[in-house]
Structure 1
Amino acid sequence: MRTGPRAAAVVCGAVALTASLVAGGAGTARAASCNVTTGPYQRQVEQFLGRPVDGRQSAADCEAIKGFQAKHGITPTAGYAGPLTWQTMSVMLAQRAAGTTPNKDGKCPTTVGRIACVDLTRQLSWVQDGATLAYGPVPVRTGKAGTETRTGHRQIYYRSIDHWSTIYDVAMPYAQFFDGGIAFHSVDKSMWNPPGSGGCVNMRPADAKAYWNLLRKGDDVYVYGRKPGT
């Protein structure tokens, strides 16, 4: 297996290719008819969506759930309040709860100067300058089961603002590699789209650009926790 920037392009190119395939599948799923069955997480999902909380599936409930699923590429997009839909909402709730103090528990080290923190459990990332929050927190999309984003303390070793995978013929803008083929880079899809990336830390374009402007080669990256479902 090749190493270095070319190998990195191969790994993250696979991520972007997978993303385009998932997005295509989501479009087909939107045509699915509504599932009238009451899901196991009906009450929780109703509450999250601001629906009347009665624990019974209605036509309006189903349409609201389908809309959420379609927005984030959850398949089948049929309005069923199942485990994956509720897991996605649970992550969103944890992200909201982080507020402006994502490192309140002190799990990301703040004694090394500027550091990019990645919390896999909450699917959040932010940049610290010592004890000061420099940017974020922002939602991210990390590795799925089988291609998990590896935990540990690393450093950015290669940056490519207009990165391109020649193997998979896909763009990976604002790529910053910090662990073999694992990098921060932008994608044009929901950060809550399951099941996840091929290992890279996917970001919204504006956040990936901000990270590009904030971070430099040699800056620290700390990844911890465990992504739900892995």
Structure 2
Amino acid sequence: MTLRQAQGTGVRPVIGLTTYKQRAQTGVWDVTAAFLPAVYFEAVQRAGGIPVLLPPQPVDAEIVGRVLDGLDGLIVTGGADVDPARYGQDAAPETDKPHLERDAWEDALLSAAIDRELPFLGICRGMQVLNVNRGGSLHQHLPDLVGNDRYRIGKGQFATNEVVVEPGSELDALVGAKLPVKSYHHQAVDTVGDGLRVTARTDDGIVQAVELEGVPFGVAVQWHPEEDAAEDARLFAGLVDAARTYAGAKA
């Protein structure tokens, strides 16, 4: 699938993207704010979608339903670690302080999206949210497992790692058998959640992508495709194309 195909004639689907909600500084202001790096929604725009931001808020089934009524696709974005209590563990020393409101909001959005068969893409934290949502667990600190910092070298600098993709998967159709990816994470999937198929790994066996079986488009990757417009734009094109089909079916 090419970007030209994704941007072709037809409806421009609305894609919701989850956001941070934490302290931010701009100009004279130092406040709690909902925000998201522009590379995320710019990737959606280039793929032919209309991005809208979904800030964390109290979970309510009516609110979640109303939000999803206005969407044709969903992206659960990167950010802080998922609360280990959600998968039955105590927090490791290296695990981030939990963002409980965001955890609950994204979990509710994903559950409702899956029920509706709304196309979705999980990115980094988003893949971990999906795995926990499906009853899986996480490795809380990868250096303890792999013996190095190859996935998060720190200081806002993305590491490059090569992933090997499962033949015949949705991911294979989008990006091919192998590709270099931009990594910035210190956690990863441990026990794989119900209904999830592992579709990419690195050479040390760490899970790098999963797909939810039984839905039209449910892909999640451990890396940051928004950081590589040349290679990973195809993931956003795939989501937007699936979202266009979803929008057409409900019109």
Question: Normalising to structure 1: TM-score of the pair?
Answer: 0.26
Structure with higher Rg: it is 1
